Amino acid sequence: MSAVNITNVAVLDNPASFLSPFQFEISYECVASLKDDLEWKLIYVGSAEDETYDQLLESVLVGPVNVGNYRFVLQADPPDPSKIREEDIIGVTVLLLTCSYVGQEFIRVGYYVNNDYDDEKLREEPPQKILIDKIQRNILSDKPRVTKFPLIFTLKTVRLENKPSSY
């Protein structure tokens, strides 16, 4: 069992304009106090073939992390369209939400994202040049792909609570 368990991730403001900020309400529980902060990242995959087009949209440290339940909203700017190949803007891509502790990623939640024109006429007859302000993104929030990685929480990374022993 992990010291940190994600209990829910809610995608807010979905669908939205491609240029709108991303918002995720993240709920998690901590079963042991941690010495260091948790690092949450949101990554936009700009190309399935080349990770150099991936964009780190946000990275935040959350702490201190004591035993209990937590909830916060992670907000991130949209990806910079100038850093995405034009042929990769429209269509399906991936958004990754990760959490790390002491530099080790222990959970990744992946979402498929469909980017397409919000106007049916533009979908049927796409313009020669991408009209980024007319593109809508839809995060397929009901089918996340959750990957957990082993992370050994040791006495060096976990604070022991001072609790009186009972005899």
Residue 80 within any structural domain of the chain: yes
| Residue ranges making up the domain that contains 109 | 4-148
Residue 14 within any structural domain of the chain: yes
User: How confident is the prediction along the chain (167 residues), in pLDDT tens digits per residue?
Assistant: 578 999 999 999 999 999 999 999 999 999 989 999 999 999 999 998 999 999 999 999 998 899 999 999 999 999 999 999 999 999 999 999 999 999 999 999 999 999 999 999 999 999 999 999 999 999 999 989 999 998 876 655 554 444 443 33
Number of domains in the chain: 1
What's 115's domain CATH number? 2.60.40.1490
Judged by DSSP in three states, 135 sits in strand
Q: How far apart are CA 107 and CA 33, in angstroms?
A: 18
* pLDDT score for 71: 96
Dmax over CA atoms of the chain, in Å, equals 78
**Neighbouring residues of 152: CB distance < 8 A, sequence distance ≥ 6:** none
Of 85, 99, 76, 95, nearest to 130 (Cα)? 85
Q: Count of alpha carbons within 13 Å of 28, Cβ hemisphere only?
A: 23
Q: How far apart are CA 165 and CA 162, in angstroms?
A: 9
Residue 70 · residue 61 · CB < 8 Å: no
Residue 156 within any structural domain of the chain: no
Judged by DSSP in three states, 134 sits in helix
Residue 8 within any structural domain of the chain: yes
**Beta-bridge partners for 29:** 5, 69
Residue 42 within any structural domain of the chain: yes
